[in-house]
């Protein structure tokens, strides 16, 4: 059969191979908890900005989602599991994942995607100032833009130029770096993030985020064990 027609699905065994111990199950619990609380972006977007869209919208139509991942290295499994807790891959969603890392490790990304998702063959392409690859999970198109640069400079530039907003901020094993290097970072993040923040540690300057309308969601103890520091945290922007 042509590659094009083969089903592109999550390869659970492959994803597990990248995660620590029971993290795969914990991501499952996160999905349950977020959907119970209607935190999933699917639900959020529908109630928020689809008022002007056609009422005859097909049930298969998805959403457009932008995720920012500073200090990403070449991690594919974790952001996929975050997305899995928010959206239904069967729908025609379009997800843009912006990776930023000081190290140029983008060449590992296609191989990791192939381990996490079946029947894909992603290739890295050069763009003006980033590397680019894309792949599908079921009907969802996922694009990765990999910027080989300082994440603090990057997010400052994005905020100043007001060109782009991310729906989701995700970080993993980045807290120490973030906390020591840049006091402006929280301001830059909350001005460029419109919906959800996921971090494997509570954010430094948590109060600042709260002032800007992000509230920390209380998660069950088990879910907090996700990530390297056993204090996984999710912040959600309050809705009007």
Ligand X SMILES: C[S@@+](CC[C@H](N)C(=O)[O-])C[C@H]1O[C@@H](n2cnc3c(N)ncnc32)[C@H](O)[C@@H]1O
Interface ranges with ligand X (CB under 6 A): 70-73, 75, 100-103, 150-152, 172-174, 177
- Residue whose Cβ sits closest to ligand X: 71
Distance of CA 151 to the CA centre of its chain: 15
| Distance of alpha carbon 117 from alpha carbon 125, whole angstroms | 19
Q: Which is nearer to ligand X, 177 or 217 (CB)?
A: 177
Beta carbon nearer to ligand X, 141 or 177? 177
Q: Are strands 125-126 and 131-137 parallel, antiparallel or unpaired?
A: antiparallel
Which CB atom, from 133 or from 175, has the smaller least distance to ligand X?
175
Q: Which is nearer to ligand X, 173 or 179 (CB)?
A: 173
List the end-to-end C-alpha distance of the chain, in Å, as a whole number.
Answer: 49
88 CB-near residues (< 8 Å, 6+ apart): 42, 62
Nearer to ligand X, 64 or 107 (CB): 107
Residue 63 or 144 having the CB closest to ligand X: 144
3-state secondary structure of 212: coil
Shortest spacing between CB 157 and ligand X, in angstroms? 13
Do 90 and 100 form a contact (C-beta atoms < 8 A)?
Answer: no
Q: Do 30 and 223 meet the contact criterion of CB atoms below 8 Å apart?
A: yes
Task: Find the shortest distance in angstroms from Cβ 165 to ligand X.
Answer: 20
Q: Measured from the CB of residue 238, what is the shortest distance to ligand X in angstroms?
A: 27
Give the CA diameter of the chain.
55
Please report how close the Cβ of residue 181 comes to ligand X at its closest, in angstroms. 6
Please, is 86 exposed, middle or buried when counting C-beta atoms within 10 Å of its C-beta (0-12, 13-18, 19+)?
buried
What is the smallest separation between the CB atom of 55 and ligand X, expressed in angstroms?
Answer: 41
- Smallest gap, in angstroms, from Cβ of residue 36 to ligand X? 27
Q: How far is CA 76 from CA 79, 172, 190, 215, in A?
A: 6, 12, 24, 27
**Smallest distance, ligand X to C-beta of residue 228, A:** 7
Measured from the CB atom, the residue of 13 and 176 that comes closer to ligand X is: 176
Transcribe 157-171 into DSSP letters.
Answer: HHHHHT---EEEEEE
């Amino acid at each position: 059969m042509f590659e094009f027609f083969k089903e592109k699905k999550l390869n659970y065994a492959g994803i597990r191979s990248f995660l620590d111990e029971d993290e795969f199950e914990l991501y499952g619990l996160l999905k349950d908890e977020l959907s119970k609380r209607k935190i999933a972006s699917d639900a959020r977007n529908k109630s928020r900005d689809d008022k002007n869209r056609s009422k005859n919208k097909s049930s298969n139509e998805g959403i457009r989602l932008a995720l920012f991942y500073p200090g990403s290295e070449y991690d594919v499994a974790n952001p996929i599991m975050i997305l899995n807790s928010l959206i239904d891959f069967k729908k025609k969603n379009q997800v843009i994942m912006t990776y930023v890392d000081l190290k140029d490790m983008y060449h590992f990304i296609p191989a990791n995607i192939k381990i996490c998702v079946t029947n894909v063959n992603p290739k890295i392409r050069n763009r003006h100032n980033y590397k680019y690859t894309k792949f599908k999970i079921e009907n969802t198109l996922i694009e990765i833009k990999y910027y080989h640069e300082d994440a603090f400079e990057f997010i400052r530039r994005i905020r100043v130029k007001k060109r782009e907003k991310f729906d989701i901020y995700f970080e993993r094993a980045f807290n120490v770096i973030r906390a020591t290097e840049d006091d402006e970072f929280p301001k830059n993040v909350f001005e460029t993030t419109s919906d959800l923040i996921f971090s494997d540690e509570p954010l430094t300057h948590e109060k600042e985020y709260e002032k800007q309308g992000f509230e920390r969601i209380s998660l069950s103890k088990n879910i907090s064990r996700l990530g390297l520091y056993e204090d996984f945290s999710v912040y959600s922007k309050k809705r009007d």
